[in-house]
Structure formats: structure tokens, C-alpha cells
Structure 1
Amino acid sequence: MRRRTLITGAAAGGIGGITLIGTGAFDTASAERTATVNFADDEDAYLGLVSKSAYATTDGDGELALAFGDVSGVGDGIGRNSQFFFDEVFAIANQGTETVSITATSDTDSFDGEFRLYPTGDRDGVLDDPDNAVVLETGDEQSVGTYVETGDVDVTEDLDIDITIEAAFEEGDDEPDDPAPEPPETIDMAEFYSTSSLTDTDGNPLDDDSVVAVRAEPTAENGNPEDDDGFVSYPDDAEIPLAAADGSIVGFGSGLGPNASGVDDNRTLIVNAWEVTLDGTGTVLYDETHGQERTLAGDFSDLESVAEGREFNVQALESDFVDSLDDADAVMIATTNGDVADFGGFSDGERSALADFVDDGGAVFLHGTASYDGTSNGELNEILEELDPAFRFNFDEVTDEENSGFAPYVPQTSNFNDD
């Protein structure tokens, strides 16, 4: 067996531990004097602590507090020179992916008494060594009781008890697999305001299920309102691609998530794409160095809030485009009409730096726009030529007379590629 300490209770004073106070200290008025066991040594959350009684409470920070005061108000708190059994106080849960054996020990050297944890239903039981460990299958939990013998406690002192809860796994397993990550939030619909479609690298309709992430509804069509020579027409029966992903390069035909959009699912879709592409969270830079009309603070602050609520660090990239990439996990380049094109696009050195960034594990998220009042899709395609994913931006406008927001040029879709 290989053993790893997963949960510890440290000394009293804010970082955990058990504090026992003598007779008179645990009356109803002072029941907030608590003992805390935290998850400081279990960053991967293989084990969980679950409250099962009024003596135990949990908070959102992964801490379990034990308060053996006069919870009922009828004098059942802890007294001097007494023995107490508290059955089913809390439970230890196996949140990992392998069977584990649980032991729990406590250090009572700081006072003349005894404190131990026992399996609920066996007051004579102990959990202090591998011979009497509790085996927990994945998803199972063990209810735990608490025995306290106070001894001759000095009522004027805080007395500390250190608790250690350990999990052992079979020999040969370094540790349990990480708990499965929370899946990205599910959305019902996305709204692509003034969006272009995407094509393949040869200027043909894109119909590769391994690349297309979001399609318009079958009722959508694309047109060429600016008579652009780069326009690629989709046949009437095609489901037009609006978003694509190839490795760590993702393209959306629209800005999708600015504050002006009242569709919260749009922002969730973007952050979902970040999370899936990065396989977690990280630092995302929002580029403002190429003439973009929209800024992070002024136009994408709602997206920033959603992302930071999911533990992303989102920052505005305001200068030194190439050097700033060194400290980032991803970069978002959003265009509005012809803003980036009017600026002059990206230099050869910047495009090469983006390619190096991707080669080093970085992700690039590009947001195009419809060809209606100018577009910067050509400048985005220059980036894509350097990065070489399996898609490009079209020079078109996608509309939908049947499935749209306030106008046909705001197509709405639930046509997501769930694979």
C-alpha cells in the first residue's frame, strides 16, 4: 500500500485544529468557538468532508468546522472530567477514481484527555492505523463519530488537537487519478451578431466535423453584400459553419460576447472554448494593439467577469504584443468591421511570434465579422496562413429569416458539434 496524507487539521488560531474549552466555555452564547479541519494538503480534492450533524459545518472553501458546544440549548456541551460520544458527526467521502483505505489519527499531547474518531456504529472502534482502516470505493463515504474525554482541562486555556486523515492506495499506484474536471457549462443557444462563415484552406465550403464547432441552423444562408472576390457561397442545404477549432486555434465568425449582447450564453460559449482548448484555466490576453474599436474594459468586461468567475485571468494587451505573449496561455483577437484592416493588420514578426506561441502550447482565439460595413477577415486569414489550421474566414454575411434575434443578420443557433 502507498499512503498519502490528504487532510490535516493543524493547530488552533485560524489554520485548523481542535480547540477544547473547559466547563462553562461551551455554553449557548459561545458555541461559535469552533474547531476546524481543512483541506490544505489535499489540493486535488481526492477526499471530501461532509457534515452529518449540528456539530459539523462546511463552507465554500473546503473547510469543516467542529463545534461541540451546547448545540441543542439543553446543556449537552462539553464539561470537565467527562466522556462524550458524538455519533455521526461528519463523513469522509472518496472523490477520487480509485479505492482507498482511510485512517485518522489525533495528537492529544497538549492536554490530559483523549480525542479520537471512530466509525459511526462502533463506539469501541478506532481509525488510527492501517489494521483498522476503512475501505472506501469510488463515490462512497464513511460516517465518523467523535469521542472526547476532557480530563482535567484548564478552563482558562485553549487546547489544541492535531488531526491527520490519510488515504492509502494499492501498491504500484502513485496516487489516485485526478477527480474528473467539471464539464463546461451547457448552453442552449448562441447568437452570432453580424457574422461571417468559415471555409476550408482552399476556399471551399467547410464541412469537416473534426473542425467545425458551431453551425447555423439549416434555415440560414450566406450572401455577399460587398461583392467581395473572396466570397464562398454555401448551397441551400448546407449547415453553415460559424465557429471552428483546430488544435489550439479557434475561430468565431462574430465578436459574439461583447457587453452589447444580451445573450449570456454567448460569453459562456467563449469561456467554454477557452477551457476546453487550454484543458483548464489560465491567463488570456485581449489584444488592443492593432486598432481594435472594442476594448476589454469598455466592451468585453462582462466576458471578463464570466471568465474570472471560472478562475481565468483576463488582461488587456495594450503594448509590446510579441513580448507579452511570454506570460500568457492564450490570446483573443477580436475585430469589428474593418478596424484591424485600417490599422494595417499584423506584421510578419507578430504573425511569426503567434506561430511560435502556438508551438509552445499557447492558444489563439480569433473573432471575425460579416462583410457588410468593412471587414478585417483578410487580416485574420493572414494570421491563419502562418498558423495553418484547417479553416479560414469567409468574406460574407450569414443571415437567417427564421432563427434570428432582432434581425436576420443576427442568426441564432443551437446547432453545436457535441463531439
Structure 2
Amino acid sequence: MARPKGKLLALVLVFGAITVVTATGAFTTVEAERTAEVNVSGDANALLGLSEGPDNGEYVTTDGGEIQIELGAPESADGVNINAYTEINNMLNVTNNGQNAINLYVNTTGSNAGHVSLYNGTPDTGTNITGDTNTVTLNPGDTIQVSMEIDTRDSGLDQDAELIDTIEFVANDAS
């Protein structure tokens, strides 16, 4: 019985061609150039707008594109009293200028940051927004007024102590 050699050879060539096509279609990296444009806005017009509050906005200044809170500003003092409780109500407006709802909270850093808290509203009637477990939801266009509470009573701090270095507003997509 004779074997059909032509058919077997054709079948082997078809499998070989499939293997070659499959092997040459794979790749491990792709490099492509794209352009991107990122615009920087002033604090009040950014996706998370920051501006002076209605009651104590004189403590808020803009310097080099950054919002700064200067606690000695109105009377040219050197800061807050030691062993005291200080509230600065409605000093800063925070506005969601984006198109999505956000969850907002504030991180404070510094050697004595635990003595400073920020609130949506006033410390008496508002909500603490300091720390990632204390969020407030802002829908597009919503504005909150932020107040600051500083409590150095029974802290043992001296008059040269620095409370905080930075205040970071963190906004995450709420959806």
C-alpha cells in the first residue's frame, strides 16, 4: 500500500506556516509618541478651587501660586498663643470646579500637626475633615467654608514650637 506523500507534505507545511505566523505576531513592547497638554490654573479656578473665606479671609494669601495661611497676618503677630484654644472660622473656601463628585479630606504634616484640625463649617457645628477617614462629599459646583481649630492646651509646647508645615487638600472621585 502506497502512502500519499504529497498530502502529508502539504499538511506539514500548513502547520509550519501557522506556527510561523503565530510566532511573528507576538511582541513584548510598543513605543509610541503622544502629545499631552496640561494646563495650570490659579487656585480659585483649578478643579479644586481654593480662595479666601468670607469671615477670616485675611489669614489666607496667595504666594507663587500657592495658598498660604498666615496666622500672624492681621495684627502682625507671631502666631497663636501657647496653652490656648484658637478657632479661625470660615477662613477658606473650597470649591469643586470639576465635573464629578469628589470626596475631600485634609492632611496636615509637621512636628505638632495633631494640634491642628480643619472643619467643613465651624468646629462647633461642622464636620472635621482632617485625615483620610474624615471626608466630605462635594458635588460639581459645591463650595464649603473651611475653619481651623488649634488646641495647644496641656500640650507642653514652648513659644518657639512649630505646629504644621503643610496642609494638603486631597480630592478623590466619589463615584
Q: Give the structure-1-normalised TM-score.
A: 0.27
Q: Cα offset for 1:97?
A: 1.7
- Residues 78 and 95 (structure 1), Cα distance of their counterparts in 2 relative to 1, 3 Å cut: same
- Residues 131 and 70 (structure 1), Cα distance of their counterparts in 2 relative to 1, 3 Å cut: closer
Aligned residue pairs: how many? 127
Matching residue of 2:12:
none
Distance in 1 separating the partners of 2:87 and 2:136:
19
Structure 2 alignment gaps of length 5 or more? 1-38
Deviation digits for residues 130-160 of structure 1, max 9, x if unmatched? Answer: 6542221222211100011233333345454
1:154 maps onto 2:158 in alignment: yes
- Residues 122 and 80 (structure 1), Cα distance of their counterparts in 2 relative to 1, 3 Å cut: closer
> Does 1 or 2 have the higher relative contact order (CA < 8 Å, sep 6+)?
2
Matching residue of 1:57:
61
- Residues 154 and 135 (structure 1), Cα distance of their counterparts in 2 relative to 1, 3 Å cut: same
Matching residue of 1:83:
85
Q: Is the 8 A contact 2:113 2:164 kept in 1?
A: no
Distance in 1 separating the partners of 2:100 and 2:121:
23
Matching residue of 2:47:
46
Q: Cα offset for 1:111?
A: 2.8
* RMSD of equivalent CA atoms: 3.0
Matches within 5 A, 1:208-357: none
Deviation digits for residues 335-357 of structure 1, max 9, x if unmatched? Answer: xxxxxxxxxxxxxxxxxxxxxxx
Structure 1 residue identity aligned to 2:106: A
- Residues 154 and 43 (structure 1), Cα distance of their counterparts in 2 relative to 1, 3 Å cut: farther
Structure 1 alignment gaps of length 5 or more? 1-41, 172-419
Matching residue of 2:23:
none
Matching residue of 2:129:
127
Deviation digits for residues 192-245 of structure 1, max 9, x if unmatched? Answer: xxxxxxxxxxxxxxxxxxxxxxxxxxxxxxxxxxxxxxxxxxxxxxxxxxxxxx
Structure 1 residue identity aligned to 2:62: T
Matches within 5 A, 1:140-179: 140-150=142-152, 151-156=155-160, 158-171=162-175
Distance in 1 separating the partners of 2:114 and 2:172:
29
Deviation digits for residues 226-276 of structure 1, max 9, x if unmatched? Answer: xxxxxxxxxxxxxxxxxxxxxxxxxxxxxxxxxxxxxxxxxxxxxxxxxxx
SS at match of 1:80: coil
Q: Cα offset for 1:70?
A: 6.2
- Residues 138 and 153 (structure 1), Cα distance of their counterparts in 2 relative to 1, 3 Å cut: same
Matching residue of 1:115:
116
SS at match of 1:54: helix
Distance in 2 separating the partners of 1:160 and 1:143:
20
Matching residue of 1:136:
138
Q: Is the 8 A contact 1:118 1:127 kept in 2?
A: yes
Structure with the largest fraction of strand:
2
Q: Give the structure-2-normalised TM-score.
A: 0.59
Q: Cα offset for 1:116?
A: 1.0
- Residues 62 and 137 (structure 1), Cα distance of their counterparts in 2 relative to 1, 3 Å cut: farther
Q: Is the 8 A contact 1:102 1:167 kept in 2?
A: yes
Q: Cα offset for 1:72?
A: 4.7
Distance in 1 separating the partners of 2:139 and 2:113:
37
Structure 2 residue identity aligned to 1:119: N
